[in-house]
Structure 1
């Protein structure tokens, strides 16, 4: 399994996924939220779904400020 973090634009994220695909391993992204760069749930999650990338976000009973800019 390949685990990676990315805090970049959706286009840049797609390019990184393409590079990681070359290793022919499952891909898991554990951090990706960076609203100032356009990395939002609405922009990134459809990309992950299309490319079959597993994703995790640390939303735990509002303990993580992922809903704040």
Structure 2
């Protein structure tokens, strides 16, 4: 019962699937961090470019900048 309740937050069937998903996410985060270090950007620059990569954020930025 408890197993189902915990895994329901992740829309997965078992705790094992949740753990597999968390491991996959951790690997992706590690890879992203390594790629960021290779670019030589600081945290603010990374956040800026990440935000620009999201269409809505970039669009809002352009609208505000043009006012």
TM-score normalised by L of structure 1: 0.26
Question: Where is the strand percentage greater, Structure 1 or Structure 2?
Answer: 1
Max radius of gyration: which structure? 2
Question: Where is the helix percentage greater, Structure 1 or Structure 2?
Answer: 2
Which structure is higher in RCO with an 8 Å CA cutoff and minimum separation 6? 1
